[in-house]
Amino acid sequence: MQIKATNTALLDWTGDLLAVGILEGETELLGDLAKLDEKLAATISELIADEEFEGKAGTTAVSRVGGKNPVRKIALVGLGKAQDLKLDSWRSAAAAIARLATKEKTLGISLPNGSESAEDIAQSMTEAIILALHQDNRFKSKPEDKEPKLETIDLIGLAGQDRAIANAQIIADGVIFARELVNAPANEVTPVTMAQKAQQLAKEYGLEIKILEQADCEKFEQGMGAYLGVGQASDIPPKFIHLTYKPQGTAKRKVAIVGKSVTFDSGGLNLKPSGSGIETMKMDMGGGAATLGTAKAIARLKPDVEVHFICAATENMISGKAMRPGDILKAANGKTIEVNNTDAEGRLTLADALVYAEKLEVDAIVDLATLTGACIVALGNNIAGLWSTDDTLATEMKKAAESAGEKFWQLPMEEKYFEGLKSEIADMKNTGPRPGGSITAALFLKQFIKDTPWMHLDVAGPVWADSPNGVNNKGATGFPVRTLVNWVNS
């Protein structure tokens, strides 16, 4: 499938399906749209009338064009009110159009421009088209979903934006890489195979890679007892993955992205009961998957920023070797943790990964994790939680997210709540009271950062979609690869 920007006039475009954007409350056809309607024997005006089309965001309408016209079908897509237009408006419209056009070979899209730049619009639309059309049928012997027939997509009126389209294709490829890691079952993506994927990325894109084996982790600082404690019941060895991208010239800054990479979470001896979502716990490495997806994109975009990608991959299983409720683990910085819930394992793996990341002497550390159900209760399935010790870092990430169309909400780092994590026999417990559970999880992680500006992203809700939504289809979403790429490039 080829996506290209074209200077072909709306009236001169020929092909199977021509999609035009309509603003809410502006259904009176003017200018080129009026001329096109006349050329197509009033097909557009009749479609607006027949469907009572108002241009509301996300709405679509399609009609065949009669006679021997150069356009076989016409589609309308609503963009919402002009004053509400933002990049996500073009992104959502392009995704909706792409899904309408899967049986066509050629598609032309003409959406009205707004205050956003042509470059940003072209990139947003291209990302949306690719992601909306992505299907993951790897594990079906006979896929029920037919592959789209689309061969050519013309972005009308966006000529000269070839580089934006190319960048969007790279970013979308990183998102799809993350999606497919999360979608794959836990017998396919294990700590070992996740490390192999990272090694393949390093080889293909010239990244540096270091894989710390269990013995290496035991020797690091005071020993990665928290991370290794989580994986000690598994028959599959842990793999601590460290990928590094370095620009050719002098890096303007140096950052670390740390992704929770629990490839399957049974809950440990605090076993998740049936119906609690245990069957979907292959997604508990969603943070790590997004970290590797971001690495793939960054390696190809080549920004002048040094980026370290860290995934402490392991499984949380049950056996005679499993960590027990009441056990005390010692993290790499020497802090001791009383395990009062073996199902709060992600923060244990991240604790040692954060200590490791800070030893790299980076300018900022961002961790992302499917960490708490409490965050889903607070913010729902479409919004991720954000905590930070640095206002500048938080502002950068929120700006990057807005451009990407991925939603975050900053929550407070309420220090008083750490009282609930205090232990009588260790430095802290790994869980606190039920109220404010996502906040206490962030406060737990904060204990493993000394001075580096740090941010925690709880992405438990948005990494998975139960139904198609925007650019996402059912299943893994690849959240928040696009935001992280934007942040690194900011």
Model confidence pLDDT, tens digit, residues 449-477: 999 999 999 999 999 999 888 899 999 99
Token pair 């039920």 in the structure block, residue? 434
| Distance of alpha carbon 101 from alpha carbon 60, whole angstroms | 12
Could you say which of 260, 347, 398, 407 is catalytic?
347
| Both tokens assigned to 327 | 């056990």
Could you say which of 99, 246, 253, 272 is catalytic?
272
The mean pLDDT value for 8-30 works out to 94
User: Regarding beta strands 383-388 and 336-338, do their DSSP bridges make them parallel or antiparallel, or are they unpaired?
Assistant: unpaired
The mean pLDDT value for 195-203 works out to 98
Domain boundaries, the chain: 2-158, 170-489
pTM: 0.96
| Both tokens assigned to 239 | 């793999």
CA nearest to 97, candidates 4, 199, 19: 19
Q: Is 149 a catalytic residue?
A: no
What confidence score (pLDDT) does residue 147 get?
75
Q: Is 4 a catalytic residue?
A: no
Fold observed for domain 2-158: Leucine Aminopeptidase, subunit E; domain 1 (3.40.220)
pLDDT at 282 over 80: yes
Residue 97 Cα distances to 63, 85, 110, 116, 373, angstroms: 13, 17, 11, 20, 34
CA angle 84, 87, 400 (to 5 degrees): 115
Mention the CATH class of domain 170-489. Answer: alpha beta
Per the prediction, the chain carries an average pLDDT of 96
Q: What is the largest CA-CA distance in the chain?
A: 82
Check residue 105 and report its DSSP letter. S
pLDDT at 371 over 70: yes
Residue pair 180/136 in contact by the 8 Å Cβ criterion: yes
What confidence score (pLDDT) does residue 145 get?
66
Residue pair 400/368 in contact by the 8 Å Cβ criterion: no
